Amino acid sequence: MGAGAEGDPYRVSGFEEFWPHYVRLHQRAETQRWHAAATCSSGLLLGLGIVVESPLLLVAAPAVNHLIAQASHRKFEKNRTLPWKNFAWHTRAELRMLRLVLTGRMQAEVRRWV
């Protein structure tokens, strides 16, 4: 379940098959909170960049998100993610995880898939 050819989770047919893999990479509450902070920071930078018409802030937004998120993986999960392998799925998963963290339901999702 959740892995396509040769065990590669990116070779599945759709996002819903990818989601369990993403959840397993984000098991710890600390990682989830850091990701939520990263996503919110990125959103703020994007919004501010649009309002003040700053290309620098628009470019900084995904970089800040990535740096915070990857730091959390190294510190808490002791793993690494590969968001560039399917940026759309990672972005969608990031937003779903943010919703689940903010509503207090992410740990139930971890128990479901781990």
Neighbouring residues of 39: CB distance < 8 A, sequence distance ≥ 6: 65, 94, 95, 98
Q: Where are the domains of the chain?
A: 14-113
Distance CA 7, CA 3 (A): 5
Q: What is the pLDDT of residue 81?
A: 87
Q: What is the pLDDT of residue 1?
A: 44
Q: What is the pLDDT of residue 2?
A: 47
Neighbours of 107 (CB within 10 A): 14
Q: What is the pLDDT of residue 6?
A: 53
Q: Could you give the count of Cα atoms lying within 13 Å of 6 in the half-sphere of its Cβ?
A: 3
- pLDDT lower than 50: segments of the chain: 1-2, 5
Distance CA 48, CA 17 (A): 34
Q: What is the pLDDT of residue 80?
A: 84
